[in-house]
Structure 1
Amino acid sequence: MTKITDQPTYWYYDPENRAAPVRQLPWGTADQCNLSAPFQTQEAAELSRQAAHLAAQPQAWARAEEARRINAANGWGLGFELSHIPRYLALIHSEITEAACEAEPAKINHELGDVIVRALDLAHLTDPQATRLWFADPLNQSAVGTWGRNHPQHLWPTGALLYLHTITSRALEAYRKTEDDGRLRHNVVTELKTLVAYVVACMRVVQVDADPEAIVGKILAANATRGHRHGGRRA
């Protein structure tokens, strides 16, 4: 008798839903599901899925432009002047404090997402060209790098939240102590980039599988449906 062998299986990911986990399926069935090319190992499929997922994400500056467009439509930030920067930084401090007041990981990361939205909006208001330069990577790649002893995995929660306040205060110091307007814009946007990167790192400490890009996307989508800019009528 001829022995019937099991149909070989391979690993695939869904190109239309790159955030979904990879799947193991028999050879041939993937073609019917419009899945990726087959991979012999789960690790290879996962690496390819992650690369495709990152490649499909918008650059952070595009999110900054989206935040500015939504906020402008809701009447926020019109007639912006450099002298308004301290007010915007105060609101970032407020969002960090709101994150500190939450206990559930998902709610903490939502508030941290608000920090990112405000930082991106302020960066775009301060210097759109510098924002395109400094925020060229997708948000989910913003935390790449080393933070040394200040890494949020060592400091979370109290120390990491304090460090977020510190970075925000550095942006204020850049505003206060830089006389040349062009240099001021550059320095403030640079600190805001550092702030966003550190927020992303914090979000991944709060939730290992956190997707900062998705969180910010949901916040912006919600803000776009509101009758007035998010965060209250005064600020």
Structure 2
Amino acid sequence: MVFMFVIGLSIEEPALNRTATQPTLVAAKVWASLYPSLKRKCGVFREKLSIQTTVAIRRLGVTVTRGLCRFAWILAHALLPLMWVRPTSRIDMRRFILLTLIALSMRSFATEQIPELFVINGQEYEINSYPLEALYGYEEIILMLDNNMRCSANWRGYRGVWELVDKELTLNSLVNGACDANAPSVNPEYFFGEKSFPVKFVWFSGKIEVRTSERIPISKINSESGKQAHGEKYQATVYVFVSGELISNSEEEIEHWWY
């Protein structure tokens, strides 16, 4: 069970828009803390191990905890071989029993995040871009929504439906808490000073990627650390906006890396 937990964490994070629960990270931290000698084998940790659970990485469209990539790397590459090591002392046996109990008492699961929608020529596409945050910060949005309708599949607390209309970015709808099928609509006057949707979203300058191919896992050796890095690549149509106006769109190969 311990190693099912290890494998599950290393495979499911951080790709594919998933999140991890705090108990999972606590268990991972116990693994690392009980075997400090691993630092000599794995190198000094560049970031402090953390169990924060609400820090979002916007570029990946995924809610991932700080230090989670480090946890997965440590568990998958350093601790997994321990399953072949027979405990040689009473202390080692206590450690293995403790870790087994932790794994048995906690469930490691992940939740895919509900994406934003982008409509082009009547066709809906799922996107991992958040244009609303060009106008308000993440914390501001949570305060303005002022509810408890967030869930593990929608940590940002809302879902917007965007559309490209006459080379302009418009917001067709914005719901408060996307986990509910009957989620209430946000008052556009409160957020944008408009009486109704759609709203011309002139506050956004940036890129929106529409993925047009499957994700392909990739890896390479980090030139700085000499360690292997993992990531993904895919084809996408990239739409570039300035003040809500479409400036260009092009087909590109996108790569994301996790070191």
Give TM-score, length-normalised by structure 1: 0.26
Greater fraction of residues in strand: 2
The higher relative CO (CA closer than 8 Å, separation ≥ 6) is in 1
Greater fraction of residues in helix: 1
